[in-house]
């Protein structure tokens, strides 16, 4: 959410960007889940996915991701079953273990003192897959319950993560895996390698399937991109639960001038996680990352203050990467 605007405007910009991505030839558009953060308006990816899918025609739409620890797997299966029935062949269900919220918001989201903790996340994923596939295993306390509208052309389920734990679970369940390079860039290829080595074929996939999510800012020149990226870098200096709207470039530059040495070092470290520059430079770096991970699909998340600059970033990337526009 850019400074000087409203959550409603941020949501409209999200839908506008999705329309553009559909026309530019991108293949997926994923929506994150965060709670209690003033600078982030996306609290319900399943609701926003319905609006985005309605506003587009070809691009796959989904969650990146639903934080399954907060919810009943049955309810998530039903919500994405409805989405899949409305938009067959176009819905992705990315699921994650992280809270996407501070401890107070996490406690408020979970349904009372009997809610399961994070240690039960693998069981919740198994139950979710069972309901999406038509039923739970015999002997399950809820085996008689069916998730409606029922199995069919359901969502493509991905496990999201940034650690060996998530990679191991995805491999054990035979699920495709999306690695969050923008969170932990240093050891990603090793994590993805572990996923591939331990992958067990499943009804969903007979071979491992991976993409990697990268933070990037593209502009017409390297200098312009570095300037745009400063807003997101300054914004990330605050803990997530304390982040307000994304500052303007001018305000970000003023904030950098006032940083103490420790926070200036943190800013430089965060800059190392970003792919920033003109089109050829960014596409070249993304290609090298894809080669290092052994993937043919990269997800790109761009955080900057100006929605028009964000749209321009995706336009430049699409052109430089040779995407086929419609």
Residues 251 and 63: their CA atoms lie apart, in Å, by: 32
Two tokens at 73?
A: 């797997």
Cα–Cα–Cα angle for 117, 118, 120, rounded to 5 degrees: 80
What pLDDT digit, counting tens, does each position of 248-301 carry?
999 999 999 999 999 999 999 999 999 999 999 999 999 999 999 999 999 999
Percent of the chain at pLDDT above 70?
97
Q: pTM here? A: 0.93
What pLDDT digit, counting tens, does each position of 88-99 carry?
999 999 999 886
Count CA atoms closer than 13 A to 205's CA, side-chain side: 19
Kind plus residue range of the DSSP H or E element containing 300: strand 298-301
Residue matched to tokens 């745009």: 228
Beta strands of 17-72 (E only): which ranges?
28-31, 60-67
Given this structure, which CATH class describes domain 7-321?
alpha beta
Which pLDDT score is estimated for 154?
87
Two tokens at 151?
A: 């199995």
Give the DSSP letter of residue 175.
Answer: -
């Amino acid at each position: 959410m850019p400074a000087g605007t409203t959550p409603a405007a941020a949501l409209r910009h999200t839908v506008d960007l999705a329309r553009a991505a559909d026309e530019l030839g991108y293949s997926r558009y994923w929506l994150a889940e965060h709670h209690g953060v003033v600078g982030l308006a996306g609290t319900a990816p399943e609701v926003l996915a319905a609006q985005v899918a309605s506003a587009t025609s070809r691009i796959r739409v989904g969650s990146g991701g639903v934080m399954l620890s907060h919810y009943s797997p049955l309810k998530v299966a039903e919500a994405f079953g409805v989405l899949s029935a409305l938009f067959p062949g176009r819905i992705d269900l990315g699921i994650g273990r992280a809270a996407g919220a501070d401890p107070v918001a996490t406690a408020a989201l979970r349904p009372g003192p009997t809610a399961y903790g994070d240690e039960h996340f693998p069981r919740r994923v198994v139950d979710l897959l069972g309901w999406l596939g038509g039923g739970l295993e015999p002997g399950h306390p809820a085996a008689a319950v069916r998730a409606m509208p029922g199995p069919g052309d359901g969502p493509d389920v991905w496990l999201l993560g940034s650690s060996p734990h998530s990679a191991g679970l995805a491999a054990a369940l035979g699920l495709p895996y999306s690695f969050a390079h923008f969170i932990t860039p240093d050891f990603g290829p090793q994590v993805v390698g572990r996923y591939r080595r331990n992958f067990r074929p499943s009804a969903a996939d007979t071979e491992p399937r991976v993409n990697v999510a990268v933070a990037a800012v593209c502009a017409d020149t390297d200098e312009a991109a570095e300037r745009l990226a400063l807003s997101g870098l300054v914004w990330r200096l605050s803990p997530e639960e304390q982040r307000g709207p994304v500052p303007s470039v001018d305000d970000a530059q003023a904030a950098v001038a006032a940083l103490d040495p420790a926070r200036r070092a943190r800013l430089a470290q965060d800059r190392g996680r970003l792919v920033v520059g003109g089109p050829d430079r960014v596409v070249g770096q993304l290609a090298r990352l894809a080669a290092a991970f052994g993937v043919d699909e990269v997800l790109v998340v761009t955080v900057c203050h100006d929605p028009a600059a964000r749209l321009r970033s995706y336009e430049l990337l699409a052109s430089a990467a040779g995407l086929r526009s419609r």
